[in-house]
Structure 1
């Protein structure tokens, strides 16, 4: 998981010429729950990989640019 803002999104995600669409509400909720869990761990300073970038610093810089 890596923070971005809308300005960095150029186009829709396409696989083999097909637009990737999330159609299941259950799957969307599951992704949101996992994202909140990861963000909580990052806020507490828990590193998930040894080479992990400083996600919280990147998020802060993106918020400053708004």
Structure 2
């Protein structure tokens, strides 16, 4: 591996490789934030549905008493 690294031109080692690493890191970070955002979105939607269902149950029980 060291021989391969040393065989690369200096402009590849100093410019191309760091840019590729930054792009890859950016994509990994964007993926992680996307997954976390999607999970949070699902949790919020589930909480809204559960809240609406609880309100409907409470209203139906109150309507049944009267």
TM-score bin, normalised by smaller chain:
0.3 to 0.5
Q: Which structure is larger by alpha-carbon Rg, 1 or 2? A: 2
Higher relative contact order (CA 8 A, sep 6+): 1
Q: Greater strand percent: which structure?
A: 1
Q: Greater helix percent: which structure?
A: 2
Give the TM-score of the pair, scaled to structure 1.
0.33
